[in-house]
């Protein structure tokens, strides 16, 4: 018997010879829970992936053009809106240690990757500091990256500072760059796809992208599960 990873309701999936032989997709979430998430569809900002009426550069990205980090990120795409249901699941996944929840998003995350970033050369998860990794027990961005079924590289390191979630938007935008690379040889002249759970102001992604570019990466894009 399989249970929904979110509400623990019994799933009605029937195991057949066809499902075993052809490896049909694993059912991990009931239709009621899945229906509470909202996919990002339609026009988005061509840089950050923010949903809007057209594909022009949004106001936030226009402001980024006047910052030193304004041109380090080629594009970001996110899979879901950050609605109340997604907030609850992210809190369970990220802060309460329910790592298995990542399996709910396998198909949609892979679909977004295949649609937008299949040509990317290297998949790189945004890292946690060693202290935060010890505290949480896993890196949520790494688990998302592993959903793609491609080799994952982890050249980035991260200093331990206050949690981004505790900072205001202005504090995030003004925060120091927490990332560094000790051995850049693996990223030289590569198109890198950064993976993270949430794109909020874009500061974290852009700081990571900036360090990669400064250390020889040719191009940096990002794929995130949620657009805040």
Phi then psi for residue 70, to 5 deg, are: -65, -25
pLDDT score recorded for residue 15: 47
**CA-derived radius of gyration, the chain:** 18
On whether the CB atoms of residues 117 and 181 are closer than 8 A, the answer is no
Mean pLDDT by 10 residues, the chain (228 residues): 92 56 70 96 97 96 94 97 97 94 97 95 96 95 97 96 62 77 95 97 96 98 97
pLDDT of residue 30: 94
Residue 217 CB partners (closer than 8 Å, separation 6+): 187, 188, 189, 190, 191, 192
C-alpha 145/C-alpha 196 separation (Å) is 8
């Amino acid at each position: 018997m399989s249970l929904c990873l979110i509400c623990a309701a019994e799933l009605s999936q029937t195991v057949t010879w066809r499902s075993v032989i052809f490896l049909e997709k694993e059912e991990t979430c009931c239709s009621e829970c899945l229906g509470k998430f909202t996919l990002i569809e339609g026009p988005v900002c061509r840089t950050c992936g923010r949903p809007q009426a057209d594909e022009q550069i949004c106001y936030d990205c226009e402001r980024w053009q006047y910052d030193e980090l304004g041109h380090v990120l080629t594009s970001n795409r996110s899979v879901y809106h950050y609605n109340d249901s997604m907030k609850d699941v992210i809190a369970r996944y990220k802060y309460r240690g329910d790592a298995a929840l990542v399996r709910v998003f396998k198909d949609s995350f892979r679909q977004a990757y295949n649609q937008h970033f299949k040509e990317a050369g290297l998949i790189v998860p945004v890292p946690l500091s060693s202290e935060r990794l010890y505290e949480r027990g896993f890196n949520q961005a790494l688990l998302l990256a592993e959903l793609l079924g491609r080799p994952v590289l982890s050249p980035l390191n991260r200093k331990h500072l206050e949690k981004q979630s505790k900072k205001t938007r202005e504090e995030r935008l003004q925060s120091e760059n927490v990332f560094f690379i000790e051995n850049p040889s693996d990223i030289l002249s590569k198109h890198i796809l950064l993976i993270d759970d949430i794109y909020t102001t874009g500061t974290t992604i852009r700081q990571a992208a900036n360090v990669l570019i400064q250390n020889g990466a040719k191009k940096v894009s990002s794929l995130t599960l949620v657009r805040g």
